[in-house]
Structure 1
Amino acid sequence: MKDFPQMKKLKIVMYFSIIVFTVLGASFGQTIQYGSPGIEVLYKGSNAWCTIVIMGDGYTQAEQAKFAGHAVKSKQAILNTFPYNKYKSSLAIYKINLISKDSGVDYSRSQNKKRTALEGFYYGRAVLINPNLLRKVLQKFSSQLGNMKYVYPLILVNSTRHGGVTSMSYYYRYASSCTSSRLPHIVVHELGHLIFRLADEYDYGRSGTYHGSEPPYSNVSANGNPYTVKWSFITQTAFEGAMYYKKGVWRPQKYCRMRTWVNYFCKVCNFAAEYYFQNKKPLFIRPGHTYTLANNGNGNNSSNNGNNNNGGGNNSSNNGGGNNSSNNGNTSNNGNGTSTSGGSHPNNTRPKPSLNRPKPNQPRPKKVVVVVRGRPIVVSLGNNKSKK
C-alpha cells in the first residue's frame, strides 16, 4: 500500500492533529533563561518511566507564578483522566521553568516581535515553537528526565487564543496548548496524539469522501463493517465520519475525547492507551489481528462500566464505554480542525520520518512544514537575531 501523494512529495511520514514535521537541525547559539529552580517534579510514581515535561513559552519573570498555576492545572487534568489515573505509578510529570523577555507569543510568524524562550507563534490555530530550542532545553535536563524515548514535552503558551498542536518529528516531538479555560481538555486531547498515537476522530477539515488505504492508527478505519473492522475484538461498533472526512472513514464510537468535547476516551482509545502502558510502545491495530491486555483490561474504565450512551450504532448490546467517573466534569478538546493522515503501515510498525536524524553540527532549521488539513504549507522561521 502506498502513502498519499503529498506525503511522497515531502518525504516525511505525517501524523494526525495539525502535525508539524521540522527540517531537522540543532542550534545552540541562543541563550535560554531559566527560573530557579530550573526543573521541578510535579508528580512521580513509584515505578515512573513515562515522563511528561511541562514548559511554558511567553511567561516573563513576573509571570512565573501564572505558569506554575497552568502547569498544576495540566497535571491535574492528566492524573484525573482514565487511564492515566490507573497507571499513575508509571508516570512522572516535571515542570521546566523558562523565562521569556516578553509576555505572550506572536499571533503569526510574520510578526516576529515577541522575544520568548521557545520562539512560539500561532499559525492559524496551530501553536508552534522552535524545535531546536526545545531540544536544547531537553538536553540540559536529560540526566533528570531519564530515557528520552519516553519523554513527552508539553508546551503551554501564555495566550488564551484557542490553539494547540502535536508534532511527531522523531527528535522534536511535542504537544502544545493555549492556556484558555479549555486548557485541561486540549492537554488531554493532544497527549492522546503524542503518547498513544491516536488519530483525530472529528469529521471536518477535508471535503469529499476518503478513498485512501487503511489508516495506520488504531481508532480510525476505512472498513465500516462493525463485525470485521480491525477493532471488532474490542467493540463491534462503527460510526462514519472521522479523520477530517464525513464519508469513507469510520471511528469506533459516537463520542470520544479524540472527536468532541466529552470527558472520556472511547473503548478503542482506552484500549490503545492501556496497551501503551503495559507494553511501553504504541498500539497500531492491524486488520485481522487480535490484541490482549493484562489484568482484565478491555478498554473500559471499570468504575464506569461504559454506560454513557456514547456507543450504540450497529450493535445494540454495546452502548459505549471508556468513561472516567473520576474526572470532575471536565470536557476534552475536539482537536484543532487541522491536520493530515500518514498513509499505511501494514506491518504495524511505528511511523518513522524518512529524514535523516540530525547531527550536532547541522545548522538551525529555517523552515517547518505545517500540514493543515492534509495540505503541506512551508512556514519560515525567520531570522530571530533581530530580537534583542
Structure 2
Amino acid sequence: MTYSPYAFFGAALLGLSQLAYAAQPATIRVDYMHSGNAAAEQYALERVLVEPLPWPGNMNQAIDNSNLGNNKVEVTDLTTGKLLYSRGFSTVFGEWRSTDEASKISRGFQESVRFPKPEHPVKVSLFKRDANNAFVPSWSVDVDTDAQDVIRKQGPAPAKPIPIHVSGASVDKVDLLILGDGYTAAQMSKFKADATRLSKHLFEVSPFKEHAKDFNVWAMAVPTQESGVSRPSTGIHHASALGTRYDIFGSERYVLTTDNRALRDIAQYAPYEFIEILVNNETYGGGGIFGQFSTAAAKSDWSNYLFVHEFGHHFAGLADEYYTSPVAYQPSATKIEPWEPNATALLDPANLKWKDKVATDTPIPTTWPKQAYDEHAKTYQKIRAELRAKNRPESEMSTLFKEDLAFSKKLFSEAKFEHVTGAFEGANYESNGYFRPAMQCIMFDRSDKFCDVCSAGVEKVIQMYSTPGNNSK
C-alpha cells in the first residue's frame, strides 16, 4: 500500500484549516554542490525538485528582514526582478571553512534551498557575509520550475510521520520536524517517546513555553540495523539513512550529518521549517546549524539541555557563549561585530546591540568573576579530556558536568551582576574580545534558562513563521 502524506496530514489536523493548507503552492527544492577551501569556493547546480507536500509557510511572510545567518537566499522574478522570497541561513561548509583542515585541502558539501513554487521562471541568488559582515553576491542560477528536467514525482515515504504536537494548519504555525537516527525497527516506540519527551521539555522553557500554540511538531525515523550512530573516535561505525555521526571536524562531541541529500529526501515527507535530529546514543553530544538542522543525543543525561541549546543555534541563530571548551574552529584574526543576536565585539560600547535591555547604571563592559571561572575551567577541561581519552563510562562524564554546573552557580550567585543584562567578556569560543549579554544562559553553560537577549532572538523568529492570534489548539 502506498503511503499518502496528504491523507495523513488531513487526518492529523482534524479539520484545522485544511483548505488553507491545500491551497498553498508546491514546495520547490534546489539541490547544489558547495565546494572549496579556506581561500576559495564554488557552486554547481545538481537538481531541481517539486517536493511531495505543499509549501508549509505563510505566503504573507515570505521575506526575511532578520539579518540572521552567514548566508542568504533570494528568489526573484526573472523578468521583473521582484523579490518573491528570502531567508538567511548558515551551512556546514561555512563551519568547515573555519577549521584548520580547510587551509590544507578542498572539500565539497551538498546544500539545498527551498521556496514556494513561483508562477514564472526565477533567479535564485545566494549571498555570503564579507569581511565587514555585509551580504555580498556569491552565486546565482536561473530556475524554471516548469522545465522538463525538474523532478516532479518521487517514491513513497521511507517512514511514516508521527504527529507529536499539532496546534493548527502549517501555514499559521512553526513546523518542527524531529528526525530519529540510530533507532532500530524494534525501537520505534522509544523514538516516539523520546521525541514526545524532548518536545514537551522545549515547551517548558521560556519563551517557547509561552508560544507552544504557535508550533506543530512532527516526528519521523527510518529504522537502522544497529542501535546508535557512528562514533569514529572509538571505532564505532553504524550505517543509517541520515548518516549522522559524532566527531565532526575532529570534535568528539560534535554531531552532524554531512549527507544533505539524504536528509532532505527523508524530511520532505513531513511539513517542516526546522529539523532536529535525535541520535539514539548515550554519549553527550549535539550540534546546530542556523536554518539547516540541529542534533542531540537522546539517551544522554543532558538530553533536555542539548535539545534546547542546539535548537537555539538552528532556530534563532544564537551564538555559543562558552569559550573554555576546545573547538575545531580557528580564532578570528580580526574582531568584527557578529551577526548573531547574543554576541558582540563591543566595538562601540555606547551602541551595544542590546542596549535597550541594559540599565543605565550597568557598567559596559560588565564585571564578573572571570578569573575564578577560568582557573576552575582549566582543571575541569583537563579532567574532561582525560575521561574521553580513556573512554571512561558516560556516567563519569555526567558527574563531572554536574559538578562544573554546581561550581558556576555558586560562583555566580555571589557576583554583583548575576541577574543583570550587560556585556560580559568571554563568548563566541574566545576568552577575550567577544562579549555575551548575561553572566549565565543556556547558550553559555548547562543551565536551564535563556537570558533576556536570547529570548528576544527566539521570539523574533517565532513571529516570522507563525500567524499571531491564530491558535487553533
Q: What band does the TM-score fall into relative to the shorter chain? A: 0.5 to 0.7
Give the CA deviation at 1:134: 0.9
Contact (CA 8 Å) 2:441, 2:451: kept in 1 or not?
yes
1:185 paired residue number: 305
Q: What residue in structure 1 maps to residue 253 of structure 2?
A: 125
Q: Is the 8 A contact 1:58 1:105 kept in 2?
A: yes
2:322 aligned residue = 202
Offset from partner CA, 1:118-145 (integer Å, 9 cap, x none): 122211211122221111112233xxx1
Count of residue pairs brought into register by the alignment:
266
RMSD across aligned positions (CA): 3.6
The secondary structure found in structure 1 opposite 2:426 is strand
Per the alignment, residue 389 of structure 2 pairs with none
CA positional deviation for 1:7: 5.8
CA 113–255 in structure 1, closer or farther in 2 if over 3 Å, else same: closer
Note if contact 1:118-1:134 (Cα within 8 Å) is conserved in structure 2: yes
Corresponding residue of 2:338: 215
Cα shift at 1:60: 0.6
| Residue in structure 2 matched with residue 24 of structure 1 by the alignment | 110
What's the offset of the Cα at 1:98?
Answer: 1.9
Determine the structure 2 residue equivalent to 1:176: 295
Structure 1 window deviating more from structure 2 (16-25 vs 103-112): it is 16-25
1:247 aligns with 2:367: no
Contact 1:104 1:157 in 2 (8 A): yes
Equivalent residue number for residue 352 of structure 1: none
Q: Taking structure 1 as reference, are residues 245 and 229 closer, same or farther at Cα in structure 2, changes over 3 Å only?
A: same
Cα deviation digits, residues 152-179 of structure 1 (max 9, x gap): 11101111111111134x6xx1101112
Q: Report how far residue 113 of structure 1 moved.
A: 4.0
- 3-state SS of 1:55 partner: strand
Aligned partners of 1:82, 1:44: CA distance in 2, in Å?
A: 19
Give unmatched runs, 5+ long, in structure 2. 1-36, 44-69, 72-89, 98-107, 113-150, 360-421
- Checking the alignment, whether the CA contact within 8 Å between 2:230 and 2:239 is kept in structure 1 is no
Q: Is the 8 A contact 2:161 2:269 kept in 1?
A: no
Partner of 2:269: 140
1:17-37: CA deviation from partner (whole Å, max 9, x where unpaired): 994687126999999853xxx
- Which residue is equivalent to 2:458? 273
Normalising by structure 1, report the TM-score: 0.60
Mapping 1:154-165, distance limit 5 Å: 154-165=276-287
Q: Is the alpha carbon distance of 1:273 and 1:25 closer, same or farther for their aligned partners in structure 2, counting shifts above 3 Å? A: closer
Which amino acid is 1:255 matched to? Q
CA distance in 2, matches of 1:121, 1:221: 31
Q: Secondary structure at the match of 1:154?
A: strand
- 3-state SS of the aligned residue for 1:127? coil
SS in 1 for 2:110: coil
1:235/1:7 CA distance change after superposition, 3 Å: farther
Q: Which residue, 64, 72, 76 being the options, matches 2:200? A: 76
The one-letter amino acid of 2:253's match is R
Q: Report the counterpart of residue 43 of structure 1 in structure 2.
A: 165
Q: Higher RCO, 1 or 2 (CA under 8 Å, sep at least 6)?
A: 1
Q: Secondary structure at the match of 2:301?
A: coil
Answer yes or no: is 1:87 the counterpart of 2:211: yes
Q: Alpha carbons of 1:230 and 1:79: their partners in 2 closer, same or farther (altered >3 Å)?
A: same
Q: What secondary structure is seen at the aligned counterpart in 1 of 2:232? A: coil
Match of 1:285 in 2: none
Distance in structure 2 (CA, Å) of the matches to 1:137 and 1:256: 34
Q: Which AA in structure 1 matches 2:223?
A: I
Q: Deviations over 1:255-306 (max 9, x none)?
A: 111111111111111111122222449xxxxxxxxxxxx99xxxxxxxxxxx
Q: Output the amino acid matched with 2:109.
A: V
* Distance in 2 between residues matched to 1:138 and 1:110, nearest whole Å: 29
Q: Which moved more, 1:108-117 or 1:193-202?
A: 108-117
Give the equivalent residue in structure 1 for 2:355.
Answer: 232
Map Cα deviations across residues 321-356 of structure 1 (whole Å, 9 max, x no partner).
xxxxxxxxxxxxxxxxxxxxxxxxxxxxxxxxxxxx
Unaligned runs of 5+ in 1: 1-5, 282-293, 296-388
- Distance in 2, Cα, partners of 1:30 & 1:102: 25
Q: Counterpart of 2:238 in 1: which secondary structure?
A: coil
In structure 1, distance between residues paired with 2:429 and 2:305: 19
Distance 1:220 1:16 in 2: 19
Q: Which residue in 2 is equivalent to 1:373? A: none
Distance 1:212 1:25, change over 3 A: closer
